[in-house]
Structures are given as structure tokens and as C-alpha cells.
Chain A
Amino acid sequence: MVGADEGGYTVMKRAIWRALSVLPLLFLLSGCVERTAVLNPQGPVARTQYDLIMWSIGFMLLIIVVVFTLFTVVLIRYREKPENADYEPPDEEGNTLLEIVWTAIPVLIVAALAVPTVKATFAFEKPPTDKVKPITIHVTAANWKWIFSYPEENIETVNYVHIPAGVPVRFKLTSVGPMNSFWVPELGGQKYAMDGMETELILQADKPGSYMGRSANFSGEKFTHMEFEVVAQKGDDFKQWVNEVKQTAPKLNENKYAKILEPGLVGRMTFSNTHLEWIDHAKQNSHHVERKSAGNHGNPDHDMAKDSHHHGE
């Protein structure tokens, strides 16, 4: 036999040192972790998710503690050492009772997690409160900006969105290109915005404030910059803002809209009408490329700008 083993003791000492060396790391981490984003829920949806996360972390820590303790005890007790040179480990086949136990416990834990998960998954399809009438905002992701249309108020913003606090907001999501994911972690989890279809995400802010939003799904070169701000305002302030926009913001027309859709970055914009007047990207094949004659393979290089002329056909 090749003497590959070192003394069990030195190894164990190292293992213990390793365990200890993790501790300062944890302290360091706790210093580094700020209570932002998911850890700072500012609305009922995010709060439900936060509670669910904490509930699951509790069970997970329990599992970790059990496994790590067993692991450490076993490693220390049953390492090879000079005293047990003659010890011959027994050949156990298994233990049915034990195996049933450690099958049953995970089943129970999974059940304990599944019930609130399913409840929450269903709950998120409806507004968190039915006392207040929700407002609807259409969200269109484009390379690489977010366009927000308010059909009832008939205004449109780019890369920022105002919402009334305490009111559920139905975000109706679509895209004019690659898949993006609409994520405002402080208000709640995300959903994909996809071309030719509509998904719905209901969020609500508890109180006025500014919340960071971004695309969470990679959509090409400048995807990193697809950030937007969600500004939650008191009901009256929100109404006042809407009125201001209606009176002061310019009108959006098809040409201008096509320009906005061109791949690239744009700043914040505000308009006193919406692009829903002439195109709804959520309809299947709204992004319709004019059909080439049969056999012609078409030109793969056509860009968004050209396509946008076909919108509304």
C-alpha cells in the first residue's frame, strides 16, 4: 500500500481551522450585505416573497446544521488513527428504518415548503387588495429601453414609470425584440416580457419612494443598461403628475416612435399620448416582416428601424 495518508490529526486540525476561518468570512459578509432589493421589501408582493424566503431559509439552515454536525462528528470519531489500527469496519448493508426516516423527513420539509409556495404562486395572479381599483400600465421592452404606456391616462414614459402608492398596478408586459425580464426587486419578483405576446405582473408599493428596476434577462449588447426607476407617489401627487404630463409633454408619432425603437440607449422621455394608438406589440406577429417572394431567403440584416415601418399592417 502506498503511504498516502498523513496523520489523521493534522488533517483534522486543518479541518477545524477551516471551519474557524469561515467565521470571519461570515462577519465580513454580514458587513458587506446591505438590506437592499429583495432584502428590503416595499410592497405586499415583495413582502410575501420575503417571508417565503425567510421561511425556507429556516428549514434550510436546519438541514445544514443537521448534516454539518453529523459530518463533523463522523469525521472526528471515525478517522484512521494509531489507536484504531486493528479496527476492522463492519460491512453494513443498510438500515431500513433509518432510510425510511431520512426519506420521510425531506418529504415533510418539501410539503411544508410546497403549501405556502403554491398559495403564493396563485395569490400573485390577483391584486393584493380588492379594496382599491388597480391601474393598468403597458410595458414594452425594446433594445435597450423600457417603454411605459398608460392607456387610461393616455400618456407614455420611457425608462421611468410613476405609480400611485397603495394601489395595485397591472403591468402588461411585452417586447419588440429579445426576451427581457421586468424586475423591481423591492416591489416583487419578475416576469418575462416577450415579443408577440403579453404577460401580466401585478405589483404594489406600500408608500411613496423610488425603486430600482432592471431587465433580468440578457437581451444583447447593452442589456446591462436596461435600468428604470419606479417612482411611487401619493394618489394626489400621482394625479397631478399625470395632468402635468398631459399638458406639457410632446406628442409621440410613428416616426419618432420608430426612432426610439432603434437599437441603442436613450434617456428618459415623456409623451402625452401612447404608441398603443397604432401598434400593440403584444399581438402575435405584430412585428411582421414583409414576406419575401418564395425561394428568396430574405435579408437577415434588416434592422428594427426598417421593421417598424411595417408595424400596424
Chain B
Amino acid sequence: MKWSEFFVTGEPLIYAADVAIVLTMVGIVFVLTYFKKWKWIWNEWLTTVDHKKIGVMYIICAVLMLFRGGVDALLMRAQLTAPNMNFLDAQHYNEIFTTHGTIMILFMAMPFIIGLMNIVVPLQIGARDVAFPYLNALSFWLFFFGAMLFNISFVIGGSPDAGWTAYFPLAGNEFSPGVGNNYYAVSLQISGIGTLMTGINFLVTILKMRAPGMTLMRMPMFTWTILITCVLIVFAFPVLTVALALMTFDRLFDTQFFTMANGGMSMLWANLFWIWGHPEVYIVILPAFGIFSEIVSTFAQKRLFGYKAMVYSIVGIAFLSFIVWVHHFFTMGAGPEVNSVFSITTMAVAIPTGVKIFNWLFTLRKGKIRFTTAMLWSLAFIPNFVIGGVTGVMLAMAAADYQYHNSYFLIAHFHYVLIAGVVFACFAGLHYWYPKMFGHMLNERLGKWTFWLFMIGFNVCFFPMYFLGLMGMTRRMYTYSDGLGWTPLNVVATVGAVLMGIGFIVLCYNIYYSARYGERDMTGDPWNGRTLEWATASPPVHYNFPVTPIVDDLDAYWVMKKKQGGFQVKEEELKPIHMPSNSGRPFWISVAFFVAGFGLVFKWFALAIAGALFIVLGLILRSFENDDGYHIGVDEIKRTERAARKGA
């Protein structure tokens, strides 16, 4: 391979990115060296096994990826503002919508949700950490290096360009000979392994490590949604693992799974992809439902209405998520019988979802609603998500879907459910749990600015797309000709996208502003919360709870506050606490994954094998390790607790 093929060349945007990447790296190295922070970043972050810090790292990555995916989106909107634009050429546009989709789903929505669940779930169930803290660190670093591998494709070798769904035969060697789709297959595989391990980890954590008295039906709703999400992860992600492995074999070793010759079957890819892909959508949306449930109940100052029905409906949605995948390709000609069955199962998803919407509305009814930023995001979710939901039912009608399929109607629909569902939930959860993560609040005034800009911009951007779809505009077109009547709505959509971009900038400024001037949370319970995470200090001490809390009702902390004025810790009850040790191994095993993955992408098999050997070495060292962690003595707990609870 020539160097001119190795580095992507010829585009001013790419050179700018090259410069930016080099400058950022130099900048990070300089800052760490100048402030003598290398030791700090290694000891406190890179080797940590603390679920709270891992959660924070997930969220930082997610926000960075939101920026990357958002820039992609703005570039696309810029190109589509007017007919026959030459801002981006076809190839570049194809790469950008591919990376936009992949990044937003897998490297933005997933880590944001997983970050929040890392921070919140152990606290909500009164645990000291997750079941397997070391594995948790490995999950994060695999995600991180998977995401990095995907992102460097932008400047090294070239980005994937077959869409985030990577349908064959387009994504095969014949039509996509470059390394772009190798990046797709390998980097998704690496981060997917991390996600699978997270699923197992949290499943065991939630099943086995709840505080005494917290029966399943007393679990906070967010924890419930995470439990079900983990079940979905465990059953869905292995399908992605296989699909990507087969893709890798087809691309690197010329096997015939999805090829056009010798019996290959491209439809098989579409099926495998969506058997994972549809549950994947619910993997990100169910936790969002959980976040809204927590926030709505907290700021309506009222117990969640119809808790049991809420639980049954998430279980129902999770079950349905596995039997609807064909609705992603009603137009593949599977026959009217198959299409009818999948049409009905898909429409059936609306039933449990409708139950949830009404339960939220009835939680608000008779409440005393406080309009905090977190609550505004949660409230805005309801009407916006309903628009996305009802158009989803329309898309589910197979006979009508032949007209919506792959059009902007579909684009509008899934952005209405994914942005109004998942992104609103991420922002709501970020504002809500921010004091728990960092010990200070996000500024409410700036938060509301973000909310209104983003929420209005979102509607201005995506609502017109329903009509563009009905007017015949298909997704993934890099331009369109004049005279089709699509121009005005496209201009409106671009204006909306810019508003969303401004909203994001305000959010970033808010993070900076609040870090410097934000109100410190000394109470640990700034919102008058209902669940156990608010019984800890903000931010919680590394062992979370000095003694394990006892739970005797739903909304455990709310009841505690009513009955005994809060979480009471008697110093004589303290016992030494066992904690796991930090480890640098998850980090370097993941680096080895990155190296092996890079080798596979470029078919440099010696490098891939070297990376694989390092991975095996890491596993062996882990097996032989004899580190049982350490204990925190009672005196130290007393000191820490007194310091942390000064404000309370």
C-alpha cells in the first residue's frame, strides 16, 4: 500500500481535520506534562475500576461523539440546503451519512446510556460497585478503542461509505474495495464485545447485589429498564458479533456469505443486521423511558403512576422487539403473509408504549410540577415522542410502508423517536444526575436556553422531513434537482439543524461555566429525590454507602426521609469495606485490541496476530493475578463520612 492511499488526501476538510487531530494530541500531551498530571490521569482515570468514574468517562466520550456526529449532520444539511449544491461530492456525502448513523447509534447513544447506567444503577440499588468492576473497566476501554478505531478512518485509509446498515452486496469487496468497511466491521466488533460484557455485568449486578429489602418490584424504574436492556443486550449482541464476523470473513478472506456469486445471499445480511438492529433501538430507548420515569416522578413530587403496568410494558416491548425486524424491509418481497404478521407485531409495540405515555401523564396529574431543565426535557419528550410513535405505527402498515420506505418520512420518524426519546433522555439525565457526578449543578438558565434552542430546532429540522418524504425525497441522496418543490422545506430543515447546533454549543458552554461558577451541591439531594442515589454525598465517596441501606418500599430514599429524616448511619455499625484494586490491564488489553483491529483493517496479519497474542497474554496474567483488593478501615470511613456530610 502506498502512503498516499494510507492517508486520506485531497480534501481541505480532511487536512483541517488532520491539523486539528495533531494539535489536540500535542495539546493534551503538553497540558498533562506542564501540570504534571500524567500520574494523576493514570492512577485516577485510566486504571480506575470505580463505576462512577467509568460512567463519567463514557459520558465524556459520548459528548465528543455527539459533536462529531453532529458536525456530520450539519455538513449534510449544508449540502442539502439548496438544489444542485457542490459543497460535498457524492463520495464524501456517502461517507458522512454512514459515519453519522454509525456514530450516533453506537458511539453516542450507547455510551451515553451506558455511562448514566454506570453512575446511577449501583447507587440506586444500594451497592458498592458493579458485580465485576475489572470487567467494567475492560468494557469501557474496548468501547473507547473501538470508537477510536472507527474515527481514525476519517484520516487514515478512508471512511466506510455503504450506510450504517452496510447492506450487501454494496458493502462487499466488489463494490467497496477500500478499507472503509473493514473499519466498520472491526471497530463495531471491538466495541460490541465491550457492550456484551456490560450487559452481563449489570444483569448480575441488578439480580444479585440489591440492598436488603429491595425486591424486584421495589426497584427504581430506571434500574428496571436497565435490567431489561441488559437482557436485550445479551440476546441481541451475539447476533451482531456473528454478522460482523461473517462480514469480516467476506471482506478479508473472500468467503461467500453475502456475495453475488457461488451461493452467497445478500438478504441474509439484512436479516442478521436487523435481528440485532431492532432490539438495539430498544436497548437505547428503554433506559430513556427509565430516565423519564425517574425525573417525571421526582419533579411531579409524586410516586410513579402504575408502576406495575410500567414494568409489564417494558417487558412487553422487549419481547416484541425480537419479532418485528422484518418491518425494516417490507419491500424485500417476503410475501404478503410474512409482511402482514410483522406489520401487526410492529403495530402491537404501540400498545405497551401507549400505556407508558398515559402512566406518565397520570403521574403528572395531581402532582406539583417543578419546571427544572431536566423536567423540561422529560416533558418535551411526551408530545415529541408521540409524534414519532404514531408515525411509527403508520410505517408499520406494510402496504403503506411501500410508499414511506427509505424516504425522508422514515428519516423524520426515526429521528423523532431517537432524538425525542434517547437524546432528550440523555440531556435530561445529564442535568438531573450532574450534581451526583461532579458535585455541582449545571446552570439552570443556560440549561433552559439549550433546551428551547435544541427542542425548537429539532422540530424545525425534522418535521418538514415528513412532508419531504411524501413528496418523494429519498434518504441518502447527496443532492436533488431544482423544480421538484423540495427546496423550501430543505431550507427550513437546515435552519432547524443550525438551531440544534447552537443549542449544543450552549450546553458545552454550560459545562464550562458551571464547573467554574456553578452552585455546589452540599446536600447530596438537590432535587428532593426519591431513590437511593440521593442518599449519598455529591459526588459519592468511592465506596458509595458507608453501610448497606435497608429498603422497605418503592422510592426507598423518599420513605427514609419521611420515616427517619434521611439515611441514618450509626458510626458503631460501620465495618471495614472491601474494595477492588485498580488495574492498568483493561487499558492495555484494549490497546492490543486496537492494534489487532488496525492490523485486520489493513490486512497486515502479522500486526493482527501480534495484537491478539498481547490480548491472550493479558487474559493469562489476569488469571494468575492474586489480588483480592483492599479494605478500608472503620476509622477512615468515619473521617470520610464526616467530611462528606458536612453540608447535610
Taking Cβ atoms with an 8 Å cutoff, the residues of A that contact B are: 1-2, 4-6, 8, 11, 14, 18, 21-22, 25, 28-29, 31-34, 36-39, 46, 48-49, 52-53, 56-57, 60, 63-64, 67-68, 70-71, 74-75, 78-80, 84, 87-95, 98-99, 102-103, 105-107, 109-110, 113-114, 116-118, 120-125, 143, 177-179, 181, 183, 185, 188-192, 194-196, 199-200, 212, 214-224, 284-285, 287-289, 291, 297-298, 300-302
Interface of A is mostly: mixed
Which chain A positions have C-beta within 8 A of B489?
Answer: 29, 32-33
Do B169 and A195 have beta carbons less than 8 Å apart? yes
Which chain B positions have C-beta within 8 A of A32?
Answer: 464, 467, 485, 488-489, 492
Having A38-B471, A78-B368, one finds 19 other A-B pairs with CB under 8 Å, namely: A1-B526, A8-B371, A18-B452, A32-B489, A89-B367, A89-B368, A94-B307, A95-B305, A98-B362, A106-B350, A110-B351, A113-B397, A118-B336, A121-B336, A192-B331, A200-B333, A218-B167, A224-B478, A300-B254
Taking the nearest CB of chain A, how far is it from the CB of B431, in angstroms? Answer: 9
Which chain B positions have C-beta within 8 A of A5?
Answer: 370-372
Q: Which residues from 495 to 541 on chain B have a C-beta closer than 8 Å to any C-beta of chain A? A: 519, 521, 523, 526-528
User: Which of chain B's residues has its CB closest to A105's CB?
Assistant: B354
Which chain A positions have C-beta within 8 A of B371?
Answer: 5-6, 8, 11, 79-80
Taking Cβ atoms with an 8 Å cutoff, the residues of B that contact A are: 90-91, 94, 162-163, 167, 169-170, 173-175, 177, 253-254, 260-263, 266-267, 300-303, 305-309, 329, 331-333, 335-336, 339-340, 343-344, 347-348, 350-351, 354-355, 357-359, 361-362, 364-373, 376, 379, 382-383, 386-387, 390-391, 393-394, 397-407, 441, 444, 452, 456, 459-460, 463-464, 467, 469-472, 474-480, 484-485, 488-489, 492, 519, 521, 523, 526-528
Do A91 and B302 have beta carbons less than 8 Å apart? yes
Per a CB cutoff under 8 Å, which of A68, A178, A192 touches B383?
Answer: A68
In Å, the complex CA distance between A185 and B469 comes to 10
30 CB contacts below 8 A, A to B, read: A4-B441, A5-B371, A18-B452, A32-B485, A36-B471, A39-B471, A49-B399, A53-B394, A56-B400, A67-B361, A71-B379, A78-B366, A78-B367, A79-B369, A87-B368, A89-B302, A93-B305, A98-B362, A103-B354, A105-B354, A178-B167, A183-B474, A189-B331, A214-B472, A215-B474, A216-B407, A218-B162, A221-B91, A288-B262, A298-B254
Per a CB cutoff under 8 Å, which of A39, A107, A190, A301 touches B405?
Answer: A190
In Å, the complex CA distance between A48 and B471 comes to 17
Do A56 and B397 have beta carbons less than 8 Å apart? yes
Which chain A positions have C-beta within 8 A of B405?
Answer: 181, 189-190, 216
Taking the nearest CB of chain A, how far is it from the CB of B567, in angstroms? Answer: 17
Per a CB cutoff under 8 Å, which of B329, B340, B348, B386 touches A67?
Answer: B386
Which chain A positions have C-beta within 8 A of B398?
Answer: 117, 121
Which chain B positions have C-beta within 8 A of A56?
Answer: 393-394, 397, 400
Per a CB cutoff under 8 Å, which of A78, A98, A106, A220 touches B300?
Answer: A78
Do A189 and B399 have beta carbons less than 8 Å apart? yes
Do B331 and A190 have beta carbons less than 8 Å apart? yes
In Å, the complex CA distance between A53 and B364 comes to 33
In Å, the complex CA distance between A91 and B555 comes to 11
Which chain B positions have C-beta within 8 A of A18?
Answer: 452, 456
Q: Which of B162, B253, B266, B463 has the most CB of A within 10 A?
A: B266
Per a CB cutoff under 8 Å, which of B359, B361, B472 touches A36?
Answer: B472
In Å, the complex CA distance between A70 and B361 comes to 7
Do A92 and B471 have beta carbons less than 8 Å apart? no
In Å, the complex CA distance between A68 and B361 comes to 10
